C-alpha cells in the first residue's frame, strides 16, 4: 500500500504543526507491523490528543456562540481533511502513519460534537453540525454525508444520551482500534466468557488428516454477492460514492468511466445477471456438492440510502434464487454486516426503543432459511440471527452472527459486555458437541482478524483454543479477498491451533474478480483437505456482454503449495516458508490469488513491504497481538 501524505498541512496553528510532527513516525508499508519507537510515539500522542481536542473544542464553541466559523477554525478543518482516496479504504488498510492523524480528527471533532449534544443541542442542531463537518473534512460528498448521518443519528444520540460516561477517547478507540488510539476504559475490556476448565494445554500445533481423497465431501462457499438492483450497464463507474454504476449517477461523457455489463472493478456492486450466472454456474458445474455455505452480504454498498423495505426486497430475491437453484442441496446461510439497516448496526444490550430493533431481519432470515434448516434452529435465529444444526451424525455447523462485533456497530459503545451473550452460546454448543463426539464447522461473516472489536477477538481465541480438537474448520467472508488466517495459541504462539478460510466475493467491488470456492472435506474428521477457487476475468467478460463469463479454476491450494495437509500444523509450515526470501515467489503468487488475478489490482503490483503486510494479515487475529507478525518480519529480509 502506498503511503499517504499527512492530512495536517502547514496552514494550521503551531499546535497542529506540533501534532503533525509527532504523528509522522517512521513506518514501513506493512501496516500490521509497528515501526521502531512506535510505543514511545503513542505515549506522546496521548498528550497531544488532549491538546488538540482542547483547541478544536474552543474553536467549535466560538463557532456555535457567534454563528460563524473563524478563519482559524476553517484552516484547522482544512488541514485535517482526508484525501478522497482514503474514503474507499477500510481502516485496517490504512498505513500505520495514518493511525495518529485519524484518531486526532475523531477525538477532536467528534469530542466537540459529543459535548455539544450533552450541553443541550437538539437533534436538528447536531445533524446540521455533523453534516457540515463531515463535508468539510472530506469524509464524503455532502449528499452522502446527509444520508449516512440521517440513518445513524438517532442510534448515536440514544447511546450518547444514555451513556453519560462515554468519552470521545473510548469512542474513537473502539471505532479505529489502532495502537495509536488507546482504549483505557474497563467498561469495554473487563468482561469474559466462562470457559470450561477441562481443556488440555497447547503443547504442539494441531496436526491433520491425509490429503484429498475420493470420498471427500464437497462444499461450495458463496459469499459477498452485494446485489445492486440499481446497477445499470454504461452508467458512471467513477462517481466518487461508496457505490457507483447506479441509475441515479447518470451516463458519463468519458466512455472509459462506463459500467460494464457483468460488473466493474471500481466502486460498483453486482448486477442481477452476474448474480444469476454465478449461482447457476455453481449448480451446473458442481451438481455433486453436498452443501453450500452462503456467508453473507447480499446488500449493496449504497450505505447512505438503505431502508428496511429495500433490504428485504434484495434479500428475498437472492434467497429465492438460491432456494430455486438448490431445492435439495442444503444451503447454510448467515448474515453479513450489510444486511442490517442502518448498515453495520446490530442492536446489543437492553435498548428501550423498539424502532432500533434488528428483529425484522432475524424474523425474515428465520422464515427464508427454514427451507434448509431444522425447526430447532428457529429460536436462536429469531433471537439474534445465529443457529446450530446437526448436518449428519458426528458433524455439526455453528452459524454465527458476528456482525455484532464489527467496530462500526455503534451498539458496542452502549453495552459492550452484551457481546458475551452469543460467544457464551458458542462456547456452550461447542462443549455439548465435544461431549457428543461431534466435529464442527463455524461460519462467520467477519474474519476474526478483520474489524472485530479486540475484546471479542480475545474471547473468541480463548474459545477456539479450548475446543481446537472439536472445531475442524472455519469459514469467513467480508474482505472480498481469496485468503486465509492461521490462529496461534495465546500463551504459546509458536503453536498453530486453527485455520479459517475466506471465500472471497461474488462482487468485483473493488479491484477483484468475482469468485466462489469449492472445498473438499474429509468425511470422518471434517477437516478441509483441499480447496479450489473459481473465477472469471471481468475485463474479458465485459468485452462480450452477450456471452456468459468464462469461469475457470484459478488454483487448487494443495497443488499450488504442495502441503502435507491443510491442518494448522501443515499450513504453519507454509507460513514459515513464505516468511523467508526463498518463499518470495510463492508469497507473490498468494497475493495474486488473493486479489483473484484481477487486472485492476495486478497492474499496481505489490512491493516487498506490501507482501510482508499480506503475510502478517494471515497470522494476526487480535488487534493488539502482533507477535507473529513481528516474528515473521525478523526473517523476511534475511
How many C-beta atoms surround the C-beta of residue 353 within 10 A?
11
pLDDT at residue number 244: 98
**Weakest-pLDDT range from 6-20, 142-156, 615-629:** 6-20
For the segment 236-291, what is each residue's pLDDT rounded down to a tens digit? Answer: 999 999 999 999 999 999 999 999 999 999 999 999 999 999 999 999 999 999 99
Backbone angles phi, psi at 532, to 5 degrees: -120, 135
Give the whole-angstrom CA distance, residue 247 versus residue 540: 24
**For the chain, which residues make up each domain, given as ranges?**
14-187, 217-231+269-635
pLDDT at residue number 284: 98
Give the whole-angstrom CA distance, residue 582 versus residue 572: 16
| Residue the block writes with cell 454465527 | 400
pLDDT at residue number 25: 33
427 a known binding residue? no
For the segment 108-167, what is each residue's pLDDT rounded down to a tens digit? Answer: 999 999 999 999 999 999 999 999 999 999 999 999 999 999 999 999 999 999 999 999
224 a known binding residue? yes
Query: Could you tell me what percentage of the chain is helix, strand and coil, using 3-state DSSP and rounding each to the nearest 5?
Result: 45, 10, 40
C-alpha cell read off for 528: 478441509
Using DSSP, state whether 500 is helix, strand or coil.
Answer: strand
Please give the radius of gyration of the chain, using alpha carbons only, rounded to the nearest integer.
Answer: 24
For the segment 185-202, what is each residue's pLDDT rounded down to a tens digit? Answer: 999 999 999 999 999 999
Q: How far apart are the first and last CA of the chain?
A: 22
The pLDDT > 90 percentage for the chain reads 85
441 a known binding residue? no
Task: Name the H helices within 140-287.
Answer: 142-162, 168-176, 186-189, 272-285
Give the whole-angstrom CA distance, residue 102 versus residue 515: 33
For the segment 46-70, what is each residue's pLDDT rounded down to a tens digit? Answer: 888 889 999 999 999 999 999 999 9
Enclosing H/E stretch for 391 = strand 387-392
Q: Please, which pLDDT band fits residue 37 given cuts at 50, 70 and 90?
A: confident
Please, is 512 exposed, middle or buried when counting C-beta atoms within 10 Å of its C-beta (0-12, 13-18, 19+)? buried
CA-nearest of 552, 521, 517, 513 to 532 is: 517
Note the pTM of the prediction, 2 decimals: 0.94
Q: Largest Cα–Cα distance of the chain, in whole Å? A: 77
Q: Enumerate the β-bridge partners of residue 141.
A: none
For the segment 293-309, what is each residue's pLDDT rounded down to a tens digit? Answer: 999 999 999 999 999 99
When pLDDT is averaged across residues 603-625 and rounded to a whole number, the result is 93
Listed in order, strand segments (DSSP E) in 421-544 are 439-443, 471-476, 484-488, 496-502, 515-521, 528-535
Q: Please, which pLDDT band fits residue 8 given cuts at 50, 70 and 90?
A: very low
Q: Which are the contacts of 296, defined by CB distance < 8 A and separation ≥ 6?
A: 223, 224, 333, 334, 335, 336, 337, 338, 339, 403, 445, 477, 478
Give the whole-angstrom CA distance, residue 268 versus residue 180: 32
When pLDDT is averaged across residues 452-480 and rounded to a whole number, the result is 98
Burial per residue of 398-428, b for 16 or more beta-carbon CB atoms within 10 angstroms, e otherwise = bbbbbbbbbbbbbbbbbbbbbbbebbbbbbe
Give the whole-angstrom CA distance, residue 507 versus residue 510: 8
Is 185 in contact with 170 (CB distance < 8 Å)? yes
Average pLDDT, the chain: 92
Q: Please, which pLDDT band fits residue 98 given cuts at 50, 70 and 90?
A: confident
CA-nearest of 312, 336, 310, 322 to 282 is: 322
C-alpha cell read off for 100: 495518529
Give the whole-angstrom CA distance, residue 156 versus residue 367: 30
Backbone angles phi, psi at 347, to 5 degrees: -55, 135
Number of helical H runs and strand E runs in the chain? 23, 12
CA-nearest of 474, 366, 347, 488 to 422 is: 347
Q: Please, which pLDDT band fits residue 475 given cuts at 50, 70 and 90?
A: very high
Give the whole-angstrom CA distance, residue 611 versus residue 636: 10
614 a known binding residue? no
pLDDT at residue number 31: 62
Using DSSP, state whether 224 is helix, strand or coil.
Answer: coil
| Residue the block writes with cell 490462529 | 487
| Residue the block writes with cell 487475529 | 621
pLDDT at residue number 21: 32
Is 369 in contact with 333 (CB distance < 8 Å)? yes
At the top level of CATH, the class of 217-231+269-635 is alpha beta
How many C-beta atoms surround the C-beta of residue 605 within 10 A?
10
Is 242 in contact with 257 (CB distance < 8 Å)? no
pLDDT at residue number 559: 95
Give the whole-angstrom CA distance, residue 93 versus residue 103: 15
359 a known binding residue? no
198 a known binding residue? no
How many C-beta atoms surround the C-beta of residue 41 within 10 A?
20
226 a known binding residue? yes
Q: Distance of CA 171 to CAs 39, 47, 448, Å?
A: 21, 17, 21
| Res. 11: pLDDT tops 90 | no
For the segment 347-357, what is each residue's pLDDT rounded down to a tens digit? Answer: 999 998 999 99
C-alpha cell read off for 45: 500522542
DSSP assignments along 510-538, one per residue: TT---EEEEEEE-TTT--EEEEEEEE--H
Write the DSSP symbol of residue 417. Answer: G
| Residue the block writes with cell 492530512 | 7
How many C-beta atoms surround the C-beta of residue 530 within 10 A?
19
Give the whole-angstrom CA distance, residue 489 versus residue 500: 15
pLDDT at residue number 2: 33
Give the whole-angstrom CA distance, residue 276 versus residue 522: 30
Q: Taken in order 523, 527, 529, 535, is the CA torsion positive or negative?
A: positive
Give the whole-angstrom CA distance, residue 45 versus residue 208: 46
Is 480 in contact with 504 (CB distance < 8 Å)? yes
Enclosing H/E stretch for 389 = strand 387-392
Amino acid at each position: 500500500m502506498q503511503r499517504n501524505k499527512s492530512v495536517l498541512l502547514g496552514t494550521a496553528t503551531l499546535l497542529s504543526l506540533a501534532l503533525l510532527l509527532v504523528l509522522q513516525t517512521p513506518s514501513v508499508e506493512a501496516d500490521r507491523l509497528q515501526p521502531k519507537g512506535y510505543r514511545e510515539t503513542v505515549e506522546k500522542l496521548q498528550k497531544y490528543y488532549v491538546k488538540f481536542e482542547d483547541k478544536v473544542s474552543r474553536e467549535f464553541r466560538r463557532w456555535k456562540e457567534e454563528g460563524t466559523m473563524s478563519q482559524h477554525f476553517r484552516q484547522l478543518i482544512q488541514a485535517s481533511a482526508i484525501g478522497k482516496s482514503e474514503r474507499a479504504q477500510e481502516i485496517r488498510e490504512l498505513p500505520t502513519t495514518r493511525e495518529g492523524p485519524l484518531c486526532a480528527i475523531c477525538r477532536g471533532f467528534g469530542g466537540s460534537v459529543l459535548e455539544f449534544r450533552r450541553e443541550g443541542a437538539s437533534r436538528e442542531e447536531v445533524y446540521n453540525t455533523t453534516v457540515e463537518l463531515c463535508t468539510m473534512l472530506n469524509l464524503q460528498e455532502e449528499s452522502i454525508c446527509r444520508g449516512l448521518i440521517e440513518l445513524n443519528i438517532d442510534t448515536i444520540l440514544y447511546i450518547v444520551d444514555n451513556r453519560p460516561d462515554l468519552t470521545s477517547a473510548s469512542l474513537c478507540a473502539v471505532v479505529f482500534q489502532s495502537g495509536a488510539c488507546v482504549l483505557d476504559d474497563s467498561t469495554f475490556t473487563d468482561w469474559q466468557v466462562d470457559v470450561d476448565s477441562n481443556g488440555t494445554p497447547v503443547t504442539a500445533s494441531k496436526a491433520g488428516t491425509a490429503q484429498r481423497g475420493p470420498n471427500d465431501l464437497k462444499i461450495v462457499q458463496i459469499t459477498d454477492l452485494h446485489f445492486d438492483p440499481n446497477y445499470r450497464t454504461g452508467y458512471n463507474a467513477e462517481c466518487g460514492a461508496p457505490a457507483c454504476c447506479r441509475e441515479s449517477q447518470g451516463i458519463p461523457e468519458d466512455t472509459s468511466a462506463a459500467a460494464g455489463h457483468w460488473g466493474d472493478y471500481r466502486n460498483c456492486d453486482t448486477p442481477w445477471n452476474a448474480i444469476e450466472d454465478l449461482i447457476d454456474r455453481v449448480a451446473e458445474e458442481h451438481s455433486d456438492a453436498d452443501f453450500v455455505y452462503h456467508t453473507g452480504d447480499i446488500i449493496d454498498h449504497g450505505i447512505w440510502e438503505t431502508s428496511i423495505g429495500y433490504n428485504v426486497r434484495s434479500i428475498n430475491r437472492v434467497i429465492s434464487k438460491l432456494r430455486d437453484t438448490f431445492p435439495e442441496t442444503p444451503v447454510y446461510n448467515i448474515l453479513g454486516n450489510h444486511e442490517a439497516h442502518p448498515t453495520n448496526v446490530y442492536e446489543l444490550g437492553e435498548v428501550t426503543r423498539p424502532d432500533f430493533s434488528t428483529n425484522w431481519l432475524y424474523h425474515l432470515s428465520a422464515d427464508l432459511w427454514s427451507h434448509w434448516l431444522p425447526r430447532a434452529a428457529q429460536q436462536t435465529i429469531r433471537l439474534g440471527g445465529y443457529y446450530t444444526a446437526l448436518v449428519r451424525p458426528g458433524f455439526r455447523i455453528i452459524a454465527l452472527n458476528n456482525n455484532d462485533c464489527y467496530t462500526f456497530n455503534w451498539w458496542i459503545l452502549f453495552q459492550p459486555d452484551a457481546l458475551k451473550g452469543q460467544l457464551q452460546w458458542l462456547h456452550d454448543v461447542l462443549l455439548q458437541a465435544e461431549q457428543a463426539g461431534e466435529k464442527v464447522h463455524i461460519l462467520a461473516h467477519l474474519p476474526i482478524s478483520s474489524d472485530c472489536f479486540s475484546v471479542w477477538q480475545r474471547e473468541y481465541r480463548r474459545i477456539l483454543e479450548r475446543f481446537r480438537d472439536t472445531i475442524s474448520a472455519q469459514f469467513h467472508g467480508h474482505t472480498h479477498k481469496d485468503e486465509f488466517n492461521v490462529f496461534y495459541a495465546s500463551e504459546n504462539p509458536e503453536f498453530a491451533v486453527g485455520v479459517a478460510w475466506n471465500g472471497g466475493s461474488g462482487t468485483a467491488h473493488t479491484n477483484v474478480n468475482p469468485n466462489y470456492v469449492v472445498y473438499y472435506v474429509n468425511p470422518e474428521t471434517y477437516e478441509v483437505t483441499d480447496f479450489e477457487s473459481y473465477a472469471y476475468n471481468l475485463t474479458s467478460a465485459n468485452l462480450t456482454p452477450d456471452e456468459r463469463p468464462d469461469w475457470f479454476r484459478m488454483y487448487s491450494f494443495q497443488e499450488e503449495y504442495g502441503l502435507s495437509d491443510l491442518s494448522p500444523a501443515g499450513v504453519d509450515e507454509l507460513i514459515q516458508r513464505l516468511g523467508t526470501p526463498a518463499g518470495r515467489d510463492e508469497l507473490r503468487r498468494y497475493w495474486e490469488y488473493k486479489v483473484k488475478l484481477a487486472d485492476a489490482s495486478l497492474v499496481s503490483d505489490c512491493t516487498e513491504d506490501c507482501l510482508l503486510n499480506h503475510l502478517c494479515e494471515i497470522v494476526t487475529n487480535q488487534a493488539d497481538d502482533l507477535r507473529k507478525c513481528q516474528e515473521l518480519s525478523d526473517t523476511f529480509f534475511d
